[in-house]
Amino acid sequence: MVKLGASSWSYHRKFKEGAMSQESWFEECHRLGLDGLELLDIHFPSTERSYLKKIKSHCVKMGLTISCVSVSNDFGVPKEQLREQVDLTQSWIRIAEFFGAPVLRVFAGWRRTGEDYASSWTRMISCMKQVTGYAEDHCIVLGLENHDGNSFMTTPDEVTRIIEDVGSDYLRLNLDTGAYPNPLDDLKRTVKLAVHVHAKILCADKLRLEPDHSKILPILEDAGYNGFLSIEYEGDADEVEAVEDTARHLRRLMRT
């Protein structure tokens, strides 16, 4: 059975304005009756162990599962910066392990204008192999997120190729429902690789969701997906109201 959660990115403006903290976000997710949380690295005011212990305790008290931790890495940076990106990812693998989260969301990275594609791909794959091996040692599955823009993971072919080139069961897909160029067809091609799913929402009001998840949820169901569906709101409306509307819509769809 699919479980409903939320990514802290859904409230990124609230976090940036200082109107929401991780603790108050937990309380909002608890109010909405969500099952789990996806914690983004950029919303941690500290990664000191004392703070991580406090956050873990707060989640347990709220009855919220940490479904995923997310790191904002980029293996498309110039080669002299790659070690830093590998170290960053490995540090968040350890944090995911501390929280007991089964999945760390990662990026493959973004291509730089004018750089040779084959060379940058080879460097990216080398980094992915390093962090995947490290993740396996810590029993954390990496969820590679498909992403639009000038990324290495824009199409199903690219996503599949990365996973095949790395060749490990500890690298799978964090499936973003709104990031593929041909959403429904592309979702069908890669859903079997998914270990965590983002319900990308661009618009949520009393009447509708965009994208239309009434067509997306059956794809997940047909594939036998029973993990977390993490709300990732990216619209312009008030984030608190929009995520509440999104949760209501998705629960209705999940019951039908």
Distance CA 195, CA 204 (A): 25
Residues 172-220 pLDDT 10s: 999 999 999 999 999 999 999 999 999 999 998 776 788 899 999 999 9
β partners of residue 210? 203
User: What is the number of H-type helices and E-type strands within the chain?
Assistant: 9, 10
* pLDDT of 148: 87
The 3-state secondary structure of 215-229, one letter per residue? HHHHHHHHCCCCCEE
- According to DSSP, the β-strands at 194-201 and 171-176 are parallel
| pTM, two decimal places | 0.97
* 3-255 classified as CATH 3.20.20.150: yes
CA distances from 125 to 104, 107, 147 (A): 17, 11, 17
β partners of residue 151? 110
Structure-token pair, residue 175 = 């499936």
* pLDDT of 208: 77
**Contact yes or no for 222/192 (Cβ under 8 A):** no
Distance of CA 18 to the CA centre of its chain: 22
Distance of CA 9 to the CA centre of its chain: 9
Angle between helical axes of 156-166 and 183-190 (0-180°, round to 10): 20
Distance CA 57, CA 77 (A): 36
Helix ranges, the chain (H): 12-17, 22-31, 49-62, 82-99, 117-137, 156-166, 183-190, 213-222, 239-255
pLDDT tens per residue across all 256 residues of the chain: 899 999 999 999 999 999 999 999 999 999 999 999 999 999 999 999 999 999 999 999 999 999 999 999 999 999 999 999 999 999 999 999 999 999 999 999 999 988 999 999 999 999 999 999 999 999 999 999 999 889 999 999 999 999 999 999 999 999 999 999 999 999 999 999 999 999 999 998 776 788 899 999 999 999 999 999 999 999 999 999 999 999 999 999 998 7
Q: First and final CA of the chain: distance in angstroms?
A: 13
* pLDDT of 207: 67
Q: How many CB atoms lie within 10 A of CB 202?
A: 14
**Mean pLDDT, rounded, of the chain:** 96
Distance CA 212, CA 178 (A): 10
Distance of CA 30 to the CA centre of its chain: 20
Distance CA 153, CA 132 (A): 16
Residues 54-70 pLDDT 10s: 999 999 999 999 999 99
Task: Output phi, psi for 227, to 5 deg.
Answer: -95, -150
Which residue shows structure tokens 């965009």? 210
Distance CA 162, CA 149 (A): 17
